[in-house]
Amino acid sequence: MNRRAVIVTGPGFQDHDVVYTYYRLLEEGWHADVATRDGGEVTGKYGVPLPMDKTAKPLVSFDQLDVAGYDAVILTGGHEAPDRVRQDARVLDFVRGMDAAGKVVAGLCHGPWIMVSAGVLRGRKACAYIGLRDDVVNAGAHVVDGDVVVDGHIVTCSYYGYVGRFMQAVFQTVRNRTATPEPVAP
Protein backbone atom coordinates (compact mmCIF):
# COMPACT_ATOMS: atom_id res chain seq x y z
CA MET A 1 0.00 0.00 0.00
CA ASN A 2 1.41 3.37 -0.99
CA ARG A 3 1.36 5.72 1.97
CA ARG A 4 0.84 9.44 1.45
CA ALA A 5 1.99 12.39 3.54
CA VAL A 6 1.95 16.13 3.18
CA ILE A 7 4.49 18.51 4.70
CA VAL A 8 2.79 21.84 5.44
CA THR A 9 5.09 24.85 5.54
CA GLY A 10 5.67 28.43 4.47
CA PRO A 11 8.32 31.12 4.01
CA GLY A 12 11.15 30.96 6.54
CA PHE A 13 10.74 27.23 7.21
CA GLN A 14 13.48 25.35 9.08
CA ASP A 15 15.43 23.97 6.13
CA HIS A 16 16.59 20.86 8.03
CA ASP A 17 13.01 19.91 8.91
CA VAL A 18 11.63 20.02 5.40
CA VAL A 19 14.63 18.53 3.59
CA TYR A 20 15.02 15.60 5.97
CA THR A 21 11.33 14.74 6.32
CA TYR A 22 10.71 14.98 2.56
CA TYR A 23 13.57 12.71 1.56
CA ARG A 24 12.88 10.23 4.39
CA LEU A 25 9.30 9.91 3.18
CA LEU A 26 10.55 9.18 -0.35
CA GLU A 27 13.14 6.75 0.97
CA GLU A 28 10.38 4.77 2.69
CA GLY A 29 8.41 4.63 -0.56
CA TRP A 30 5.79 7.18 0.45
CA HIS A 31 4.16 9.72 -1.84
CA ALA A 32 5.19 13.09 -0.39
CA ASP A 33 3.59 16.45 -1.13
CA VAL A 34 4.76 19.81 0.15
CA ALA A 35 2.00 22.36 0.66
CA THR A 36 2.40 26.14 0.77
CA ARG A 37 -0.27 28.85 0.96
CA ASP A 38 -0.86 29.18 -2.78
CA GLY A 39 1.35 26.32 -3.99
CA GLY A 40 4.01 28.87 -4.85
CA GLU A 41 7.72 28.71 -4.23
CA VAL A 42 9.03 29.64 -0.80
CA THR A 43 12.51 29.86 0.71
CA GLY A 44 13.71 28.44 3.99
CA LYS A 45 15.44 30.20 6.84
CA TYR A 46 18.87 29.25 5.45
CA GLY A 47 18.06 29.67 1.76
CA VAL A 48 16.78 26.26 0.67
CA PRO A 49 14.15 26.80 -2.04
CA LEU A 50 10.94 24.83 -2.41
CA PRO A 51 10.66 22.92 -4.60
CA MET A 52 14.14 21.73 -3.64
CA ASP A 53 15.42 20.30 -6.88
CA LYS A 54 14.44 19.37 -10.42
CA THR A 55 13.23 15.93 -9.31
CA ALA A 56 10.78 17.34 -6.74
CA LYS A 57 7.14 17.62 -7.70
CA PRO A 58 5.48 21.02 -7.88
CA LEU A 59 4.11 22.28 -4.59
CA VAL A 60 0.43 21.95 -3.72
CA SER A 61 -1.67 24.78 -2.31
CA PHE A 62 -3.55 24.79 0.97
CA ASP A 63 -6.74 24.64 -1.13
CA GLN A 64 -5.71 21.14 -2.24
CA LEU A 65 -5.40 19.71 1.28
CA ASP A 66 -7.83 16.82 1.60
CA VAL A 67 -8.01 14.50 4.60
CA ALA A 68 -8.94 11.55 2.38
CA GLY A 69 -5.71 11.99 0.42
CA TYR A 70 -3.20 11.55 3.24
CA ASP A 71 -2.13 9.14 5.97
CA ALA A 72 -0.10 11.80 7.79
CA VAL A 73 0.50 15.53 7.95
CA ILE A 74 3.92 16.79 9.00
CA LEU A 75 4.06 20.30 10.43
CA THR A 76 7.61 21.58 10.29
CA GLY A 77 9.35 24.28 12.27
CA GLY A 78 11.46 27.36 11.76
CA HIS A 79 9.38 29.71 13.90
CA GLU A 80 8.48 32.07 11.03
CA ALA A 81 6.79 29.44 8.83
CA PRO A 82 4.53 27.81 11.43
CA ASP A 83 3.56 31.21 12.84
CA ARG A 84 2.39 32.26 9.36
CA VAL A 85 0.79 28.91 8.52
CA ARG A 86 -1.25 28.74 11.74
CA GLN A 87 -3.05 31.90 10.70
CA ASP A 88 -4.57 30.14 7.67
CA ALA A 89 -8.04 28.67 8.31
CA ARG A 90 -7.60 26.13 5.50
CA VAL A 91 -4.67 24.53 7.29
CA LEU A 92 -6.38 24.59 10.67
CA ASP A 93 -9.47 22.92 9.21
CA PHE A 94 -7.29 20.30 7.52
CA VAL A 95 -5.35 19.55 10.73
CA ARG A 96 -8.63 19.28 12.69
CA GLY A 97 -9.96 16.94 10.01
CA MET A 98 -6.86 14.74 10.14
CA ASP A 99 -7.22 14.58 13.92
CA ALA A 100 -10.92 13.75 13.75
CA ALA A 101 -10.19 10.99 11.23
CA GLY A 102 -7.54 9.51 13.55
CA LYS A 103 -4.80 10.11 11.01
CA VAL A 104 -1.28 10.99 12.08
CA VAL A 105 -0.74 14.66 12.93
CA ALA A 106 2.95 15.25 13.55
CA GLY A 107 4.63 18.48 14.68
CA LEU A 108 8.37 19.06 14.69
CA CYS A 109 10.11 21.80 16.72
CA HIS A 110 7.84 24.89 16.19
CA GLY A 111 5.40 22.87 14.04
CA PRO A 112 3.14 22.15 17.05
CA TRP A 113 2.21 25.85 17.01
CA ILE A 114 -0.11 24.89 14.15
CA MET A 115 -1.52 22.07 16.31
CA VAL A 116 -2.07 24.60 19.12
CA SER A 117 -4.04 26.91 16.83
CA ALA A 118 -6.04 23.97 15.42
CA GLY A 119 -6.97 22.93 18.96
CA VAL A 120 -5.81 19.31 18.63
CA LEU A 121 -3.48 19.15 21.65
CA ARG A 122 -6.04 19.56 24.46
CA GLY A 123 -5.78 16.58 26.81
CA ARG A 124 -2.83 15.07 24.94
CA LYS A 125 0.68 14.25 26.03
CA ALA A 126 3.24 16.19 24.02
CA CYS A 127 6.80 17.45 24.14
CA ALA A 128 7.65 20.99 23.18
CA TYR A 129 10.52 23.16 22.06
CA ILE A 130 11.34 25.49 24.95
CA GLY A 131 10.18 28.54 22.96
CA LEU A 132 6.62 27.25 22.66
CA ARG A 133 6.29 25.16 25.79
CA ASP A 134 3.97 27.72 27.43
CA ASP A 135 1.77 27.80 24.32
CA VAL A 136 1.45 24.01 24.31
CA VAL A 137 0.63 23.98 28.03
CA ASN A 138 -1.92 26.78 27.57
CA ALA A 139 -3.47 24.78 24.72
CA GLY A 140 -4.35 22.11 27.28
CA ALA A 141 -1.61 19.57 26.57
CA HIS A 142 0.28 17.70 29.25
CA VAL A 143 3.87 18.58 28.34
CA VAL A 144 6.48 15.99 29.22
CA ASP A 145 10.22 16.19 28.82
CA GLY A 146 11.27 14.14 25.85
CA ASP A 147 12.69 14.21 22.38
CA VAL A 148 9.67 12.62 20.70
CA VAL A 149 6.28 11.88 22.25
CA VAL A 150 3.50 9.83 20.68
CA ASP A 151 -0.04 10.05 22.08
CA GLY A 152 -2.38 8.01 19.91
CA HIS A 153 -2.06 9.52 16.44
CA ILE A 154 -0.44 12.76 17.65
CA VAL A 155 3.37 12.91 17.33
CA THR A 156 5.46 15.79 18.68
CA CYS A 157 9.20 16.42 18.58
CA SER A 158 10.92 19.02 20.72
CA TYR A 159 13.86 19.93 18.45
CA TYR A 160 14.95 19.34 14.85
CA GLY A 161 18.08 17.56 16.06
CA TYR A 162 15.77 14.62 16.87
CA VAL A 163 14.17 14.51 13.41
CA GLY A 164 15.43 10.95 12.79
CA ARG A 165 13.56 9.61 15.82
CA PHE A 166 10.60 11.80 14.89
CA MET A 167 10.30 10.24 11.44
CA GLN A 168 10.68 6.74 12.88
CA ALA A 169 7.78 7.56 15.22
CA VAL A 170 5.67 8.90 12.32
CA PHE A 171 6.23 5.74 10.27
CA GLN A 172 5.55 3.43 13.22
CA THR A 173 2.43 5.34 14.26
CA VAL A 174 0.98 5.13 10.74
CA ARG A 175 1.77 1.40 10.62
CA ASN A 176 0.09 0.90 14.01
CA ARG A 177 -2.99 2.90 12.99
CA THR A 178 -3.47 1.19 9.65
CA ALA A 179 -2.49 -2.39 10.49
CA THR A 180 -5.06 -4.93 9.43
CA PRO A 181 -5.93 -7.12 12.38
CA GLU A 182 -5.43 -10.84 11.97
CA PRO A 183 -8.72 -12.68 11.45
CA VAL A 184 -9.88 -14.56 14.50
CA ALA A 185 -10.64 -18.24 13.92
CA PRO A 186 -14.18 -19.27 14.96
Active site residues: 109-110
What is the β-pairing status of strands 4-8 and 125-126?
unpaired
Q: Are 73 and 105 in contact (CB under 8 A)?
A: yes
Q: Which of 80, 152, 138 is nearest to 109 (CA)?
A: 80
The sheet that has 31-36: what strands, in order across it?
60-61, 31-36, 4-8, 72-75, 104-108, 154-157, 148-151
Distance CA 134, CA 157 (A): 15
Task: Report the phi/psi class of residue 148: left, alpha or beta, with left for phi > 0 and alpha for psi in -120 to 50.
Answer: beta
